[in-house]
Structure 1
Amino acid sequence: MATATRPAWYAYGDGTGTRTPWGDLVTEVVPATLTSGAFRCLDVRVSSELAHPDYVHHRCDEAFYVISGQFSMTVGEQQLAGLDAGASVYVPRGLRRSLRSTSRTGRLLVIQTPGDEQDDVLAAPAQQQSGSTVSLAQALAAGGIELITTHQTPPTAPSDTERGISCSSAQQR
Protein backbone atom coordinates (compact mmCIF):
# COMPACT_ATOMS: atom_id res chain seq x y z
CA MET A 1 0.00 0.00 0.00
CA ALA A 2 1.42 3.41 -0.98
CA THR A 3 1.83 6.00 1.74
CA ALA A 4 0.38 9.48 1.33
CA THR A 5 3.23 11.96 1.10
CA ARG A 6 1.35 15.27 0.99
CA PRO A 7 -1.42 16.78 3.09
CA ALA A 8 -4.85 16.77 1.47
CA TRP A 9 -7.74 19.15 1.87
CA TYR A 10 -11.26 17.90 1.46
CA ALA A 11 -14.17 20.32 1.82
CA TYR A 12 -17.18 18.99 3.71
CA GLY A 13 -19.96 18.60 1.20
CA ASP A 14 -17.60 17.28 -1.46
CA GLY A 15 -18.43 13.79 -0.21
CA THR A 16 -21.52 11.94 -1.29
CA GLY A 17 -24.04 11.37 1.48
CA THR A 18 -25.74 7.98 1.51
CA ARG A 19 -28.99 7.24 3.33
CA THR A 20 -28.92 3.83 5.03
CA PRO A 21 -32.02 1.60 5.12
CA TRP A 22 -32.39 2.45 8.84
CA GLY A 23 -32.44 6.20 8.20
CA ASP A 24 -28.88 7.39 8.90
CA LEU A 25 -27.06 9.79 6.59
CA VAL A 26 -23.42 8.75 6.07
CA THR A 27 -20.94 11.13 4.44
CA GLU A 28 -17.27 10.44 3.84
CA VAL A 29 -15.29 13.38 5.21
CA VAL A 30 -11.89 11.79 4.62
CA PRO A 31 -12.06 9.17 1.88
CA ALA A 32 -9.64 6.25 1.93
CA THR A 33 -8.30 7.45 -1.42
CA LEU A 34 -6.77 10.48 0.34
CA THR A 35 -4.98 8.31 2.92
CA SER A 36 -3.74 5.64 0.51
CA GLY A 37 -6.18 3.27 2.18
CA ALA A 38 -4.80 3.74 5.70
CA PHE A 39 -8.17 4.89 7.08
CA ARG A 40 -11.44 6.56 6.18
CA CYS A 41 -13.46 8.99 8.26
CA LEU A 42 -17.26 9.17 8.16
CA ASP A 43 -19.76 11.73 9.44
CA VAL A 44 -22.84 9.75 10.50
CA ARG A 45 -26.08 11.59 11.25
CA VAL A 46 -28.12 9.03 13.10
CA SER A 47 -31.89 8.74 13.14
CA SER A 48 -33.57 6.96 16.02
CA GLU A 49 -36.64 6.19 13.90
CA LEU A 50 -35.59 2.70 12.82
CA ALA A 51 -33.67 -0.02 14.63
CA HIS A 52 -30.03 -0.54 13.66
CA PRO A 53 -29.08 -4.15 13.02
CA ASP A 54 -26.22 -5.79 14.89
CA TYR A 55 -23.19 -6.20 12.64
CA VAL A 56 -19.58 -7.37 12.51
CA HIS A 57 -16.78 -5.69 10.56
CA HIS A 58 -14.45 -8.48 9.50
CA ARG A 59 -11.89 -6.32 7.67
CA CYS A 60 -11.56 -3.10 9.66
CA ASP A 61 -11.39 -1.66 13.16
CA GLU A 62 -13.75 1.20 14.03
CA ALA A 63 -13.50 4.15 16.39
CA PHE A 64 -16.66 6.09 17.23
CA TYR A 65 -16.64 9.66 18.58
CA VAL A 66 -19.95 11.20 19.67
CA ILE A 67 -20.33 14.74 18.31
CA SER A 68 -23.92 15.27 19.48
CA GLY A 69 -26.86 13.33 20.85
CA GLN A 70 -26.76 10.34 23.14
CA PHE A 71 -26.11 6.72 22.24
CA SER A 72 -26.07 3.25 23.68
CA MET A 73 -23.89 0.59 22.18
CA THR A 74 -23.34 -3.11 22.63
CA VAL A 75 -19.89 -4.44 21.78
CA GLY A 76 -19.43 -8.16 22.26
CA GLU A 77 -21.15 -8.75 25.61
CA GLN A 78 -20.45 -5.26 26.97
CA GLN A 79 -23.34 -2.78 27.24
CA LEU A 80 -22.32 0.87 26.96
CA ALA A 81 -25.02 3.39 27.86
CA GLY A 82 -25.09 7.17 28.22
CA LEU A 83 -22.52 7.83 25.49
CA ASP A 84 -22.93 11.54 24.86
CA ALA A 85 -20.87 14.35 23.31
CA GLY A 86 -17.18 13.66 23.83
CA ALA A 87 -17.54 9.91 24.40
CA SER A 88 -15.45 7.58 22.26
CA VAL A 89 -15.46 3.84 21.70
CA TYR A 90 -12.87 1.71 19.88
CA VAL A 91 -14.05 -1.62 18.45
CA PRO A 92 -11.56 -4.08 16.90
CA ARG A 93 -12.57 -6.01 13.79
CA GLY A 94 -14.39 -9.27 14.32
CA LEU A 95 -16.56 -8.16 17.25
CA ARG A 96 -20.34 -7.95 17.08
CA ARG A 97 -21.66 -4.46 17.70
CA SER A 98 -24.92 -2.57 17.72
CA LEU A 99 -25.60 1.12 18.04
CA ARG A 100 -28.72 3.00 19.07
CA SER A 101 -29.44 6.69 19.39
CA THR A 102 -31.20 7.27 22.70
CA SER A 103 -31.92 10.87 21.72
CA ARG A 104 -34.11 11.99 18.83
CA THR A 105 -31.06 12.52 16.62
CA GLY A 106 -27.31 12.24 16.98
CA ARG A 107 -24.08 12.66 15.14
CA LEU A 108 -20.96 10.49 15.15
CA LEU A 109 -17.51 10.67 13.67
CA VAL A 110 -16.51 7.12 12.68
CA ILE A 111 -12.97 6.21 11.72
CA GLN A 112 -12.36 2.88 9.99
CA THR A 113 -8.93 1.39 9.51
CA PRO A 114 -7.86 0.21 7.05
CA GLY A 115 -10.06 2.26 4.77
CA ASP A 116 -9.23 0.74 1.40
CA GLU A 117 -11.30 -2.43 1.81
CA GLN A 118 -14.53 -0.51 2.33
CA ASP A 119 -14.81 1.19 -1.07
CA ASP A 120 -18.13 -0.32 -2.13
CA VAL A 121 -19.81 -0.48 1.28
CA LEU A 122 -21.37 2.98 1.15
CA ALA A 123 -22.82 2.16 -2.25
CA ALA A 124 -24.54 -1.00 -0.97
CA PRO A 125 -27.71 0.70 0.37
CA ALA A 126 -28.09 2.67 -2.87
CA GLN A 127 -27.66 -0.51 -4.92
CA GLN A 128 -30.33 -2.30 -2.92
CA GLN A 129 -33.32 -2.30 -5.25
CA SER A 130 -35.55 -4.97 -3.77
CA GLY A 131 -35.72 -3.61 -0.22
CA SER A 132 -34.76 -7.07 1.01
CA THR A 133 -32.58 -7.44 4.09
CA VAL A 134 -31.05 -10.48 2.37
CA SER A 135 -29.89 -8.49 -0.66
CA LEU A 136 -28.51 -5.74 1.59
CA ALA A 137 -26.69 -8.34 3.69
CA GLN A 138 -25.17 -9.84 0.55
CA ALA A 139 -24.01 -6.43 -0.70
CA LEU A 140 -22.45 -5.55 2.66
CA ALA A 141 -20.82 -8.98 2.98
CA ALA A 142 -18.88 -8.25 -0.20
CA GLY A 143 -17.32 -5.33 1.74
CA GLY A 144 -16.55 -7.43 4.83
CA ILE A 145 -19.60 -6.47 6.91
CA GLU A 146 -21.86 -9.15 8.33
CA LEU A 147 -25.40 -8.16 9.35
CA ILE A 148 -26.66 -10.21 12.28
CA THR A 149 -30.37 -10.96 12.31
CA THR A 150 -32.15 -11.09 15.64
CA HIS A 151 -32.84 -14.83 15.48
CA GLN A 152 -29.14 -15.75 15.34
CA THR A 153 -27.28 -16.68 18.50
CA PRO A 154 -24.14 -14.61 18.92
CA PRO A 155 -20.91 -16.59 18.78
CA THR A 156 -18.97 -17.08 21.98
CA ALA A 157 -15.98 -14.78 22.00
CA PRO A 158 -13.13 -13.87 24.34
CA SER A 159 -13.87 -11.20 26.93
CA ASP A 160 -13.99 -7.60 25.75
CA THR A 161 -10.76 -6.82 27.59
CA GLU A 162 -9.02 -9.73 25.87
CA ARG A 163 -10.23 -8.44 22.48
CA GLY A 164 -9.03 -4.87 23.14
CA ILE A 165 -12.31 -2.93 23.53
CA SER A 166 -11.80 0.44 25.12
CA CYS A 167 -14.26 3.17 25.88
CA SER A 168 -13.86 6.71 27.15
CA SER A 169 -16.60 9.13 28.02
CA ALA A 170 -16.61 12.80 28.92
CA GLN A 171 -18.52 11.78 32.06
CA GLN A 172 -15.81 9.32 33.07
CA ARG A 173 -12.93 11.75 32.69
Structure 2
Amino acid sequence: MGFYTLEVEHIIPATPERVFQVWLDGNDRRGPWVGTGDRTIEPQVGGKFEWYDQDFYDMGGGGGCWGHWGKFTKIDKSERPYVIEYTWMSPEWTDEQTTVVHVELDKSPYEENHTKVKLSQSNLPDNYHGWEHKNAWIRILGEMSARFLGNAGENDRTATGEKWWGNKK
Protein backbone atom coordinates (compact mmCIF):
# COMPACT_ATOMS: atom_id res chain seq x y z
CA MET A 1 0.00 0.00 0.00
CA GLY A 2 1.21 3.52 -0.79
CA PHE A 3 1.11 6.59 1.37
CA TYR A 4 -0.78 9.85 0.98
CA THR A 5 -0.04 13.39 2.20
CA LEU A 6 -2.83 15.94 2.42
CA GLU A 7 -2.45 19.70 2.50
CA VAL A 8 -5.13 22.26 3.34
CA GLU A 9 -5.11 26.02 3.95
CA HIS A 10 -7.72 28.10 5.71
CA ILE A 11 -8.12 31.63 7.08
CA ILE A 12 -9.35 31.92 10.68
CA PRO A 13 -10.68 35.26 12.03
CA ALA A 14 -8.30 35.54 15.00
CA THR A 15 -4.63 36.40 15.48
CA PRO A 16 -1.95 33.72 15.10
CA GLU A 17 -1.25 34.06 18.83
CA ARG A 18 -4.87 33.31 19.72
CA VAL A 19 -5.18 30.39 17.28
CA PHE A 20 -1.92 28.93 18.63
CA GLN A 21 -3.21 29.19 22.22
CA VAL A 22 -6.59 27.69 21.40
CA TRP A 23 -5.13 24.84 19.30
CA LEU A 24 -3.25 23.63 22.38
CA ASP A 25 -6.21 23.95 24.76
CA GLY A 26 -8.49 20.92 24.76
CA ASN A 27 -11.06 22.82 26.84
CA ASP A 28 -11.63 25.67 24.36
CA ARG A 29 -14.51 24.95 21.98
CA ARG A 30 -12.85 27.06 19.28
CA GLY A 31 -10.03 24.51 18.90
CA PRO A 32 -9.63 21.53 16.57
CA TRP A 33 -10.67 18.91 19.13
CA VAL A 34 -14.30 18.82 17.96
CA GLY A 35 -17.19 16.69 19.09
CA THR A 36 -18.32 15.93 22.62
CA GLY A 37 -16.11 12.93 23.36
CA ASP A 38 -13.50 12.87 26.09
CA ARG A 39 -10.10 14.36 25.43
CA THR A 40 -6.76 14.78 27.19
CA ILE A 41 -4.29 17.31 25.76
CA GLU A 42 -0.76 17.70 27.20
CA PRO A 43 0.55 20.68 25.16
CA GLN A 44 4.31 20.22 25.41
CA VAL A 45 6.89 18.42 23.29
CA GLY A 46 6.55 14.75 24.22
CA GLY A 47 3.10 15.41 25.70
CA LYS A 48 0.29 13.11 24.68
CA PHE A 49 -3.17 13.70 23.37
CA GLU A 50 -6.18 11.42 23.33
CA TRP A 51 -9.34 12.59 21.63
CA TYR A 52 -12.62 10.84 20.96
CA ASP A 53 -14.67 12.67 18.33
CA GLN A 54 -18.09 11.56 19.53
CA ASP A 55 -20.96 13.46 17.82
CA PHE A 56 -18.81 14.29 14.77
CA TYR A 57 -21.06 12.23 12.53
CA ASP A 58 -20.63 13.19 8.90
CA MET A 59 -16.97 12.39 8.34
CA GLY A 60 -17.67 9.22 6.41
CA GLY A 61 -17.72 6.86 9.36
CA GLY A 62 -21.47 6.75 9.77
CA GLY A 63 -21.44 8.13 13.29
CA GLY A 64 -19.99 6.55 16.36
CA CYS A 65 -17.03 7.60 18.42
CA TRP A 66 -13.56 7.42 16.87
CA GLY A 67 -10.44 7.49 19.02
CA HIS A 68 -7.32 9.43 18.00
CA TRP A 69 -4.06 9.75 19.90
CA GLY A 70 -0.46 10.76 19.52
CA LYS A 71 2.38 12.89 20.88
CA PHE A 72 3.41 16.47 20.30
CA THR A 73 6.76 16.52 18.48
CA LYS A 74 7.18 20.26 17.92
CA ILE A 75 5.62 23.36 19.48
CA ASP A 76 7.37 26.54 18.35
CA LYS A 77 6.11 30.08 18.84
CA SER A 78 9.56 31.72 18.62
CA GLU A 79 8.92 33.14 15.14
CA ARG A 80 6.28 33.06 12.45
CA PRO A 81 4.97 30.90 11.14
CA TYR A 82 4.22 29.33 14.49
CA VAL A 83 4.46 25.53 14.29
CA ILE A 84 2.54 22.77 16.03
CA GLU A 85 3.37 19.20 15.04
CA TYR A 86 2.18 15.89 16.43
CA THR A 87 1.89 12.25 15.57
CA TRP A 88 -1.64 11.04 14.87
CA MET A 89 -3.01 7.52 15.13
CA SER A 90 -6.55 6.29 14.71
CA PRO A 91 -6.80 2.54 14.16
CA GLU A 92 -9.98 2.75 12.09
CA TRP A 93 -8.94 5.75 9.98
CA THR A 94 -5.16 5.51 9.61
CA ASP A 95 -5.20 1.73 9.16
CA GLU A 96 -2.96 1.34 12.23
CA GLN A 97 -0.31 3.67 10.74
CA THR A 98 1.17 6.56 12.70
CA THR A 99 0.78 9.77 10.72
CA VAL A 100 2.20 13.26 11.30
CA VAL A 101 0.12 16.45 11.46
CA HIS A 102 2.11 19.63 10.76
CA VAL A 103 0.41 23.00 11.37
CA GLU A 104 1.80 26.44 10.46
CA LEU A 105 0.08 29.58 11.74
CA ASP A 106 0.93 32.92 10.12
CA LYS A 107 -0.66 36.33 9.57
CA SER A 108 -3.23 36.30 6.82
CA PRO A 109 -2.10 38.20 3.72
CA TYR A 110 -5.75 39.21 3.18
CA GLU A 111 -7.17 40.35 6.50
CA GLU A 112 -5.68 42.09 9.52
CA ASN A 113 -5.92 40.08 12.75
CA HIS A 114 -6.64 36.86 10.84
CA THR A 115 -4.53 33.71 10.66
CA LYS A 116 -3.52 31.71 7.63
CA VAL A 117 -3.45 28.05 8.67
CA LYS A 118 -1.39 25.65 6.55
CA LEU A 119 -1.92 22.06 7.63
CA SER A 120 -0.46 18.86 6.27
CA GLN A 121 -0.87 15.28 7.38
CA SER A 122 1.62 12.75 6.06
CA ASN A 123 1.97 8.96 6.05
CA LEU A 124 -1.77 8.43 5.59
CA PRO A 125 -2.90 5.25 3.85
CA ASP A 126 -3.49 5.93 0.15
CA ASN A 127 -7.10 4.77 0.26
CA TYR A 128 -10.53 6.01 1.29
CA HIS A 129 -9.56 6.17 4.97
CA GLY A 130 -6.57 8.38 4.22
CA TRP A 131 -8.39 10.59 1.73
CA GLU A 132 -11.26 11.26 4.15
CA HIS A 133 -8.83 13.02 6.49
CA LYS A 134 -8.71 15.94 4.06
CA ASN A 135 -12.50 16.34 4.24
CA ALA A 136 -12.33 16.14 8.03
CA TRP A 137 -9.63 18.83 8.29
CA ILE A 138 -11.53 21.13 5.92
CA ARG A 139 -14.58 20.79 8.14
CA ILE A 140 -12.64 21.18 11.40
CA LEU A 141 -10.91 24.37 10.20
CA GLY A 142 -14.26 25.71 8.97
CA GLU A 143 -15.83 25.02 12.36
CA MET A 144 -12.91 26.73 14.08
CA SER A 145 -13.49 29.83 11.91
CA ALA A 146 -17.19 29.87 12.72
CA ARG A 147 -16.52 29.60 16.46
CA PHE A 148 -14.00 32.46 16.34
CA LEU A 149 -16.35 34.88 14.51
CA GLY A 150 -17.18 37.58 17.05
CA ASN A 151 -15.47 35.46 19.72
CA ALA A 152 -11.73 35.90 19.09
CA GLY A 153 -10.97 37.44 22.48
CA GLU A 154 -9.03 35.82 25.26
CA ASN A 155 -11.94 33.92 26.77
CA ASP A 156 -14.25 31.57 24.94
CA ARG A 157 -17.69 33.13 25.41
CA THR A 158 -19.34 29.92 24.21
CA ALA A 159 -18.10 28.11 27.31
CA THR A 160 -20.37 27.92 30.33
CA GLY A 161 -17.65 27.27 32.88
CA GLU A 162 -18.63 23.61 33.02
CA LYS A 163 -17.01 20.77 31.14
CA TRP A 164 -18.82 21.03 27.79
CA TRP A 165 -17.49 17.74 26.39
CA GLY A 166 -17.44 14.20 27.63
CA ASN A 167 -20.03 11.78 28.75
CA LYS A 168 -23.17 13.50 29.88
CA LYS A 169 -24.99 11.79 32.70
Common topology (TM > 0.5)? no
TM-score by length of 1: 0.29
**Larger relative contact order (CA 8 Å, sep ≥ 6):** 2
TM-score by length of 2: 0.30
The structure with the largest strand share of the pair is: 1
